[in-house]
Chains A and B, each alone.
Chain A
Amino acid sequence: MTTLKRVALHETHVSLGAKIIPFAGFEMPVRYSSDIEEHNTVRNGVGVFDVSHMGEFMISGSKALELVQKVSSNDAFKLTDGKIQYACLPNDQGGIVDDMLVYRFSETEYMLVVNASNIDKDWAWISQQNAQIGAEMQNISDNLSLFAVQGVKAVEALQGLTDTDLSKITYYSFEKGSFAGVPDVIISATGYTGAGGFELYVPNEHAQTLWNKLFEHGKKWDIKPIGLGARDTLRLEMGYCLYGNDINDRTSPLEAGLGWITKFTKNFVNSENLKAQKERGLSQKLVGFEMIDRGIPRQHYEIKNASGEKIGEVTSGTQSPTLKKGIGMGYVKSEYAGENTEIFIDIRNTLIKAQVIKLPFLKPTV
């Protein structure tokens, strides 16, 4: 049995009454009070997620861009200093090793932010791709804490803690600056909620200071800690993919609707085959759907047509706390992927009517 890792502020979460669950090799806070309350805090106010389990790799040196371009599906050549890209790490079998964020600090320094569950796999994969390239690589995952301060009130709740003008940091940009007295915090206008806000990367030794300041200063905005449970419902309302659910080693980035970050303006791992797949046409597609009749879709439920034939499978599903109805994503045969197509979810051997909709389920507030 492998031992679970703990985030730097583990004891803080326990003392806040969090329910702790094993997640991606870590003991993580899934909920402090209620999933729905925490979800609504982010949609209507501001909340803080400790997502320090996420992995961070630094890629640097004169070969850095060459390596990033080889492993990333997106075109990092388009990045300028202080900008961020969402991207996939395609494998050579047509699937996805992981999804990630690519930060450009300079022409010779990039940071890749990857899923906790994939840190070891990603590191091995990128190292293998780097064998012929020789960029410098450093895994700094264990040194960094990451707090996602998310919500419509995040900017106003945070501005008093830094001299950096937060309103000037546009979505998918970042700055390095002093934050709550802590030097060199990476202040990144990203998140996984669609509610706006910032992700703050901070060395572990300053994590407690930063967390405490966030809550002292944020009191006026009724800032709350938010668990991974709400993180999942928030991301699903936005139609964001979750690795391990909606994308994995066997799913094509094109079928997953990630064509917008799969750029054939350059070569990358498996780009020839993906390009050929695009030209051939896709046999299945990841779609969003909402329940017409009452029911809650869940991962692995079968998707069927009106005749009861299987046409796909649910990859993520929940009761949307905002819309108060069942929503989900899943792969369906391409002929069923059109907007407003009537589909059925097989819930405990009953076919419950649903409808394909254009993602996201909710309009983002960023």
Chain B
Amino acid sequence: MQVPQNLKYTKEHEWVRLEGDIAVVGITDFAQGELGDIVYVDINSVGNSLSANEVFGTVEAVKTVSDLFMPLSGEVLEVNAALNNNPEKVNADAYGEGWLVKIKISNKAEYDQLLDSAAYASITGN
């Protein structure tokens, strides 16, 4: 299971990469492995300003449905359109081509509260 050191994480198994005030968000390798084959990424929140921990969309595997939670407060700017026809990219490349959304963050202080890779790896039992 991969947990890149340059990313931050949430207990809800999302990862965050901060580029200025834009956060790129996805689900972790651990999460995609637990879910199994992702068959649908349903995100209709572009343009919405949401608080941290609010639901911004849903990811569906063959057997399971999981809500996606905002790791940080901000405005959802963009959804990864490639997932519309190829949701399996989340399985194949969770930290790369399988990214989910970009968020314009509204409170940088929240970022500092996220888990680092070691803390995240420990909650997944690794």
Complex: A298 Cα to B61 Cα, angstroms: 11
Q: Which chain A residues (230-283) contact chain B, with CB distance < 8 Å? A: 232-233
When C-beta atoms are compared, the residue in chain B nearest to A227 turns out to be B36
When C-beta atoms are compared, the residue in chain B nearest to A301 turns out to be B65
Chain B residue numbers with a CB within 8 Å of A35 are: 36-37, 61-63
Q: Which chain A residues (21-55) contact chain B, with CB distance < 8 Å? A: 30-31, 34-36
CB-defined interface of B31-50 with A at 8 Å, one 1/0 digit per residue? 00000110110100000000
Complex: A36 Cα to B37 Cα, angstroms: 7
Q: Does A31 lie within 8 Å of B36, measured CB to CB? A: yes
Task: Answer whether residue B58 sits at the interface, using C-beta atoms and an 8 A cutoff.
Answer: yes
Tier of interface size on chain B: 10 to 19
Query: Number of contacting residues on A, CB 8 A?
Result: 16
Q: Does A34 lie within 8 Å of B63, measured CB to CB? A: no
When C-beta atoms are compared, the residue in chain A nearest to B64 turns out to be A298
Complex: A321 Cα to B62 Cα, angstroms: 8
CB-defined interface of A197-237 with B at 8 Å, one 1/0 digit per residue? 00000000000000000000000000000000100110000
Chain B residue numbers with a CB within 8 Å of A348 are: 42, 58
Task: Answer whether residue A319 sits at the interface, using C-beta atoms and an 8 A cutoff.
Answer: yes
When C-beta atoms are compared, the residue in chain B nearest to A348 turns out to be B58
Q: Does A318 lie within 8 Å of B37, measured CB to CB? A: no
Q: A35-B36, A296-B40 are in contact. Are A232 and B58 (CB under 8 A)?
A: no
Task: Answer whether residue A294 sits at the interface, using C-beta atoms and an 8 A cutoff.
Answer: yes
Whole-angstrom distance from the CB of B31 to the nearest CB of chain A? 14
Task: Answer whether residue B60 sits at the interface, using C-beta atoms and an 8 A cutoff.
Answer: yes
Q: Does B36 lie within 8 Å of A296, measured CB to CB? A: no
When C-beta atoms are compared, the residue in chain B nearest to A31 turns out to be B36
CB-defined interface of B51-90 with A at 8 Å, one 1/0 digit per residue? 0000000101111010000000000000000000000000
Chain B residue numbers with a CB within 8 Å of A321 are: 62
11 contacting pairs across A/B (C-beta < 8 A)? A34-B37, A35-B62, A35-B63, A36-B37, A229-B62, A294-B40, A296-B60, A298-B65, A318-B62, A319-B40, A319-B60
Chain B residue numbers with a CB within 8 Å of A318 are: 62-63
Complex: A319 Cα to B40 Cα, angstroms: 9
Chain A residue numbers with a CB within 8 Å of B42 are: 295, 348
Q: Which 7 A-B residue pairs are closest in the complex by CB-CB distance?
A: A319-B39, A35-B62, A36-B37, A35-B36, A35-B37, A296-B60, A34-B37
Complex: A348 Cα to B65 Cα, angstroms: 11
Whole-angstrom distance from the CB of A277 to the nearest CB of chain B? 34
Complex: A321 Cα to B36 Cα, angstroms: 13
Whole-angstrom distance from the CB of B13 to the nearest CB of chain A? 16
Complex: A321 Cα to B63 Cα, angstroms: 11
Complex: A229 Cα to B39 Cα, angstroms: 14
